[in-house]
Amino acid sequence: MFSDEQMTAEVLRTIARDEGLKEKVLGSSTLYPLLLSAAKRYVTGETRQEALSRAEHLEARGYRLSVEYMGENTTDAKACEQAKEELMAVIDDCAALRQPAGISFDLSHVGLLVNPQLAFAHVEEMAAAAAYKGHYLMISMEESSKTEAILALYERLAHRHENVGITIQAHLHRSVEDLKRVLALPGKIRLVKGAFMESRDIALARSTELNERYLQLAEMCMEEGHACAFATHDQGMVDELLQRDYLSHSQAELELLYGVRPELAQGLQQKGFPVRLYLTYGKEWYLYLCHRIAEYPPNIHKAIADMFDPSRTADMGY
């Protein structure tokens, strides 16, 4: 039987994918600004300028950074081109940062659902620009129905561009074999548990078994000496990574979503461990907000408070 928190999480993940509800909410002159205030706990803003301003502030405090222009499932070729141009502008603007930044995106935002060759061409252009500026690209992982297409395109790209990385979701049953595939390639690997709702014949639920799977994949990365980002806010996972001394290796880092557990980021960063903050921006923040609350339903209390006091998200405790 589901607990109240589990039920809340399931409901939030369901409404996040309800396009009709999303349109009604975002089209409301009353609800839109309220929910945007809540989203700003996790999203740097709706514009690239807001994201880069926050990035410069956080870099000055010693954090490594990733930046994502949010968007997915784009089925119009012109919109895919516009998304690619925005990401090219992100690459240019990140030149203001002193350290290499990760430029993150969904392949379905830049053409995968229109034509994989279109997505390939867009990412090739982005990869060349990022390499020139000293940055790298990180391809996010999407629903399991897209996993094979994403990996196949990544394999083509990684053979041509060493600065293109990939995300692996630990909860998918196929991920052990997928990790073996990408460990043979040069790009950084970002290891996550997985946030999408998937059937139990495809993926593990949040469980001890999933934690064990995550650590299995982490060990595989470390044994190969492969560049990797351990993306988790789970204190048990973080403690185990520290216990195993993984974060003391030069090829490894902890990556945390902006706005989620800033006290963890600050504590580890002050102890000298490498912490990368994952910053998002754009107008597609509705789905992102729902997922962040679904991951930890008590966050809904913060969301309600943030709606009525936007100043609460001004600093975020970093």
Given this model, what pLDDT does residue 314 score?
83
Cα dihedral 139, 141, 143, 147 sign: positive
- Residue 49 is assigned to a structural domain of this protein: no
Do strands 164-169 and 64-69 pair parallel, antiparallel, or not at all (unpaired)? unpaired
Tally of structural domains, the chain: 2
Do strands 189-192 and 64-69 pair parallel, antiparallel, or not at all (unpaired)? unpaired
* Same domain, yes or no: 102 and 228: yes
Given this model, what pLDDT does residue 1 score?
53
- Residue 159 is assigned to a structural domain of this protein: yes
Which structural domain range is residue 13 located in? 1-42+290-318
Closest CA to 69 of 97, 92, 38: 92
* Same domain, yes or no: 11 and 152: no
* Same domain, yes or no: 265 and 198: yes
* Same domain, yes or no: 243 and 302: no
Given this model, what pLDDT does residue 2 score?
58
* Same domain, yes or no: 91 and 121: yes
* Same domain, yes or no: 71 and 196: yes
- Residue 52 is assigned to a structural domain of this protein: no
d(CA 291, CA 286): 9
- Residue 126 is assigned to a structural domain of this protein: yes
- Residue 53 is assigned to a structural domain of this protein: no
Q: Are 100 and 73 in contact (CB under 8 A)?
A: no
* Same domain, yes or no: 152 and 188: yes
- Residue 317 is assigned to a structural domain of this protein: yes
d(CA 270, CA 55): 18
Taking the chain (318 residues) in runs of 10, the rounded mean pLDDT of each run is 69 75 84 92 96 96 97 96 98 95 98 98 98 97 96 98 98 98 97 91 94 98 98 96 96 96 95 97 90 83 91 86
* Same domain, yes or no: 278 and 298: no
Q: Are 275 and 63 in contact (CB under 8 A)?
A: yes
* Same domain, yes or no: 257 and 186: yes
| Residue 189 three-state SS | strand
Tell me which DSSP letter residue 76 carries.
Answer: -
> What single string gives the DSSP state of each residue in 157-204?
HHTT-TTEEEEEETTBTTHHHHHHHHHTSSS-EEEE---S---TTTBP
d(CA 205, CA 24): 31
Q: Could you tell me the end-to-end alpha-carbon distance of the chain, in angstroms, rounded to an integer?
A: 38
* Same domain, yes or no: 80 and 182: yes
